[in-house]
Amino acid sequence: LAQKQKPVAYNALSIYFHSCALMGSCPDKSFQLKEDDILAHAIGASNSDLQVVYIIHQLMRSYVFKRYDEMAKNANSFHEMANSRKLIRFFFLIGTFYEGLISFSMARRTPGTDDWMERGNAAITTLSQWSSFCMHNFENKVLLLKAERNFAIDGDAGNTDSLYRDSINSARQHKFANEEAIACELAASFYLHNNDTETAISLLTKARNLYQTWGAVALVEIAESKMDPWSMLFGNNNI
């Protein structure tokens, strides 16, 4: 590839590998490059934008697949890069959204860890500022982060239910099917925590259908597995 075309090609490859993982399909076997080669090229070429794209894709996947060790590692990598430069492109703000989700998830799993709560709150502050300029893109994200913050602080917080519902409605209104699915899945975890299994199953069913519409077959299978009665009884912390 010509030198000027390489950044575009590697960005496209990162999207390709990310899409394959969500669809539950293997990359074309004729590909000589592996996903880790993208990061190696980005570092070798001192292409910080490509490094961030790679890290955000890892961040997103570790979260939606609930790989907790990877979540913390990827969130820390993104946090370090975000603090080292101004990240203002829309995709970088998606990274901020997922860092916030991971932060509150980790705070809920490890009570008393103020650092995760602080990072989640920082994500809310950043995205709230952007929401004031473009509610269409950011309103649902801010509402979901606030719901997750409430859930992390108090599993039965009074307005948590309405925050999840408002986030789901906002994502639907603004055509973010994947984020509507995530909000449904997280709300299901909240309801299951509060022993409302019927509502949890309804929301998981909705998440499953949205993932199907989005084409994320691997996430459809995960949502279906969470509706299993045994998963409901013993696996609710992993929703």
Enter the pTM of the model.
Answer: 0.89
Q: Predicted confidence band at 231 (pLDDT cuts at 50, 70, 90)?
A: low
Whether 20 shows a pLDDT value over 60: the answer reads yes
Region of poorest pLDDT, from 63-67, 75-79, 110-114, 131-135: 110-114
Phi, psi of 75 (to 5 degrees): -65, -40
Phi, psi of 194 (to 5 degrees): -100, 20
pLDDT in tens, 82-95: 877 665 577 889 99
pLDDT in tens, 111-146: 777 899 999 999 999 999 999 999 999 999 999 999
CA–CA gap between residue 105 and residue 116 (Å, rounded): 9
DSSP 148-210: HHHHHH-TT-TTHHHHHHHHHHHHHHTT-HHHHHHHHHHHHHHHHHTT-HHHHHHHHHHHHHH
Structure tokens at 45: 């070429």
Task: Tell which residue, 42, 111, 45, has the closest CA to residue 77.
Answer: 42
| 160-173 and 135-153 helices, crossing angle to 10° | 160
* CA torsion, ordered 109, 111, 115, 120, to nearest 10 deg: 60
Whether 55 shows a pLDDT value over 70: the answer reads yes
